[in-house]
């Protein structure tokens, strides 16, 4: 015969769990407009490339995270694709018109010395390899949850938290590319000026 188990102090009623969620939301660093400090930091980077339409895509993705999670996921991938194409265009690197996101990322990473094969230290190879994996899965989750493809059978509806994860990942990966590219561009300009002054 089983002995009765004493209630654990970690077992909470539905009302207690709801109260904890409310306390978490009140303490979460999210403004009334649903914008976090991380959003603002990424926005400051994207504003530098407003002419490429990247900042506009980022703002659209942020606005749709809550009310239109599927649309936000679709825009998140478009944001990362646009970022890759902008860098490749500026660097005059030719890419196929039908190049998918993983291919675009691969071309960018090789140009910016961010490909795992370009590094010897295992920690950097692992981190950069995982970046490629994140990009690959962003495409997968967009195809499964985004609104760009008709969903047969029983459709899977993403929640705002799913959209926030995808949008923030796409924003972080785009920013990583952009800041690396801008930094290398500034270094190249500085070196060119230094060489010109030496003659």
Long-range contacts of 77-80 (CB under 8 A, 24+ apart): 77/101, 77/138, 77/139, 77/142, 77/146, 77/170, 79/54, 79/170, 79/171, 79/174, 80/105, 80/135, 80/138, 80/170, 80/173, 80/174
pLDDT band at 30 (very low <50, low <70, confident <90, very high): very low
Question: What tokens does 35 get?
Answer: 């914008």
The band of 191, judged by pLDDT with boundaries at 50, 70 and 90, is confident
Alpha helices, H only, 28-159: 37-46, 54-67, 69-90, 101-111, 122-145
Residues near 189 by beta carbon (within 8 Å), at least 6 away in sequence: none
The confidence score (pLDDT) of residue 24 equals 44
The whole-chain average pLDDT of the chain stands at 79
Asked whether the predicted pLDDT for residue 8 surpasses 70, the reply is no
**Tens-place pLDDT, residues 84-141:** 999 999 999 999 999 999 999 999 999 999 999 999 999 999 999 999 999 998 877 7
Task: With cut-offs at 50, 70 and 90, classify the pLDDT of residue 3.
Answer: low
Which pLDDT band, with edges at 50, 70 and 90, does 143 fall under? low
Q: Where are the domains of the chain?
A: 37-198
List the one residue out of 195, 187, 137, 184 whose CA is nearest residue 162: 137
Q: How far apart are the first and last CA of the chain?
A: 94
- Give yes or no for residue 6 having a pLDDT over 90: no
């Amino acid at each position: 015969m089983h002995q009765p188990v004493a209630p654990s102090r970690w077992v909470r009623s539905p009302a207690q769990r709801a109260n904890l969620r409310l306390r978490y939301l009140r303490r979460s660093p999210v403004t009334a407009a649903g914008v976090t400090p991380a959003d603002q930091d990424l926005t400051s980077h994207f504003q530098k490339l407003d002419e490429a339409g990247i900042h506009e895509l980022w703002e659209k993705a942020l606005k749709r995270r809550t009310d239109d999670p599927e649309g936000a996921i679709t825009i998140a991938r478009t944001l990362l694709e646009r970022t890759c194409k902008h860098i490749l265009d500026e660097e005059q690197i030719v890419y196929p018109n039908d190049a998918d996101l993983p291919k675009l990322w691969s071309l960018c990473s090789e140009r910016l010395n961010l490909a795992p094969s370009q590094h010897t230290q295992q920690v950097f190879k692992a981190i950069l390899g995982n970046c490629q994996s994140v990009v690959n899965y962003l495409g997968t989750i967009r195809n499964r949850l985004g609104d760009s493809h008709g969903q047969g059978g029983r459709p899977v509806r993403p929640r705002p938290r799913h959209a926030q994860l995808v949008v923030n990942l796409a924003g972080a990966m785009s920013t990583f590319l952009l800041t690396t590219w801008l930094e290398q561009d500034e270094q190249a300009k500085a070196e060119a000026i230094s060489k010109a002054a030496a003659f």
